[in-house]
Amino acid sequence: MSDITKQSLTELVENIKNKKLSSTDVTKAFIDRSEKSGELNAYITNDFTSALDKAKKFDQKPNLDSKLPGIPMAVKDLFCTKNIKTTAGSKILNNFVPTYESTVTENIWNEGAILLGKLNCDEFAMGSSNETSFFGNVQSPIDKNLVPGGSSGGSASAVAGQLTPVTIGTDTGGSIRQPASFTGIVGLKPTYGSCSRYGIVAFASSLDQAGPMAQNVKDCALLHEVISSYDPKDSTSIDFKRNHYSKDLSNNIKGKKIGIPKEYRVDGMPKEIEDLWQKGIQCIKDCGAETIDISLPNTSYALPTYYIVAPAEASSNLARYDGVKYGFRAKGENLIDMYEKTRSEGFGAEVQRRIMIGTYVLSSGYYDAYYLKAQKVRKLIKNDFDEAYKKVDAILTPSTPSSAFKIGEKTNDPVSMYLNDIFTVPVNLAGLPGISIPAGHDSKGYPLGLQIIGKAFDEQNILNIAFAMEEKINFKNKITDWWIK
């Protein structure tokens, strides 16, 4: 069967189940394409040889009742994978081989999937362009000169470039939705507490969530169904009744009320983004749902709040990298000198900037003025959503304030880089689910995404809205395969 890598996850699962394809055929096809993708730099570590072995073993004794039977899959290098190097895109973890598996990846392998390798990302998931990775930047399969977004840039590039049928990323302030939007794919950030954080390299623990990235909404629903589970090993994991997200998927959204928040019409927003949003509003109406103007008055405080809370938590989480227990160690004259050299040589500039901001806002004397204040504003942002959800079932916004930018365009201006997250961070601060779906192209032909934000634990509803819109929008990604010689 030709063009295996063009098939969706759902099609591959079906074809393996009805024996039209073997796991070996599928795994070989994705390995072959991944091997040609060096220029994209989407992988940090590949595990192709053992992936092929596992595929052959699967074919000898296939478990066709599993949800991901013999499906090869690469994952972001922020998920601990037992006996496979896990770097978080950092020099400080360049030699780290976990002795345990993250719960979400464990869930994936338990359903029959096979690890292809570990995907590039911004260092400790701090970034919006995949340019802070110690392992070099990732290029977009859309255009050689474009960033794929970040921090799950390798993941986005790998799905859009068909190096893996689907993947998982993590989203602390937009790292699934923004790269999904930049590369024309679907990305879901689940409700905080829906997917276990156990075994994920921590960035900002009260914001981090794992989530699926896929070519279409159905695949995204299927992968979410696999990774979302209650886990006693994560004290913030929540025990609630989870849907069969893919089986329960429905494009009937008649009568749903969708909020359009006026505060997301930010100053200087390009006309193309405004037009896309209008197109989304029309699409919602064509699907038989109703749109309602709403207000989320504290939206403009979300970005400054995020850039206090996230670095504060990061500075605390990253204190563990001291060159003693694991990871890179620099030589020093004495213990303190060793700590200092390890951390200044092991962490890149962006991570050091966040650690400095974080320790500053947590220091006595500034704690009340910054950290405590940010926590209060965070609550106000959450209250805005609670208020809105008394009137509406979900909210529609653009995913990002622009299409993908050029490699190097924003590297010297961290604030303009941070502005990229303006539409995504409020969702993490409030702990809500949000999904980005490809919805159009800008004048240069680059993809643009729309975001649907849901109530807590209402993933099924936003998946359904995304599913209905996807059908109407009928987006076609323009992948040129420029990297294949």
Q: Which of 114, 132, 124 is nearest to 46 (CA)?
A: 114
Q: Is 474 left (phi over 0), alpha (psi -120 to 50) or beta?
A: left
Instruction: Tell the smallest beta-carbon distance from residue 235 to ligand GLN (Å).
Output: 21
353 vs 382, beta carbon nearer ligand GLN: 353
Name residues contacting ligand GLN, limited to 296-335 (CB under 6 A).
310
Question: In this chain, which residue has its C-beta nearest to ligand GLN?
Answer: 175
Query: Tokens 């496979």, residue?
Result: 84
Q: Give the burial class of 311: count Cβ atoms within 10 A of its Cβ; 0-12 exposed, 13-18 middle, 19 or more buried.
A: buried
Q: Which of 172, 168, 173, 177 is nearest to 149 (CA)?
A: 177
Say if CB 37 and CB 148 are below 8 A apart: no
Contact region with ligand GLN (CB under 6 A), list: 123-131, 277-285, 368-376, 405-413: 123-131
171 vs 225, beta carbon nearer ligand GLN: 171
Q: Does 125 bind ligand GLN (CB under 6 A)?
A: yes
Q: At what angle do helices 48-60 and 23-35 cross, to 10 degrees?
A: 170
Q: At what angle do helices 302-317 and 349-362 cross, to 10 degrees?
A: 100
- Respond yes or no: is residue 76 known to be catalytic: yes
14 vs 234, beta carbon nearer ligand GLN: 234
173 vs 280, beta carbon nearer ligand GLN: 173
Q: Which member of 47, 101, 123, 171 binds ligand GLN (CB under 6 A)? A: 171
- Respond yes or no: is residue 175 known to be catalytic: yes
Q: Which member of 112, 173, 199, 358 binds ligand GLN (CB under 6 A)? A: 173
Q: Which member of 44, 52, 108, 126 binds ligand GLN (CB under 6 A)? A: 126
Q: Does 231 bind ligand GLN (CB under 6 A)?
A: no
310 vs 465, beta carbon nearer ligand GLN: 310
Contact region with ligand GLN (CB under 6 A), list: 31-39, 40-48, 169-177, 434-442: 169-177
Instruction: Write out the two tokens for 222.
Output: 């299927």
Q: Does 123 bind ligand GLN (CB under 6 A)?
A: no
Instruction: Tell the smallest beta-carbon distance from residue 174 to ligand GLN (Å).
Output: 5
Say if CB 483 and CB 40 are below 8 A apart: yes
Contact region with ligand GLN (CB under 6 A), list: 53-61, 99-107, 172-180, 282-290: 172-180
Q: Give the burial class of 65: count Cβ atoms within 10 A of its Cβ; 0-12 exposed, 13-18 middle, 19 or more buried.
A: exposed
DSSP 3-state assignment of 385?
A: helix
Q: Which member of 231, 421, 459, 470 binds ligand GLN (CB under 6 A)? A: 421
User: Residues 6 or more apart from 90 whose CB is under 8 A from it?
Assistant: 123, 124, 134, 346, 347, 348, 351
**Which positions touch ligand GLN (CB under 6 A)?**
125-128, 151, 171-175, 203, 310, 421
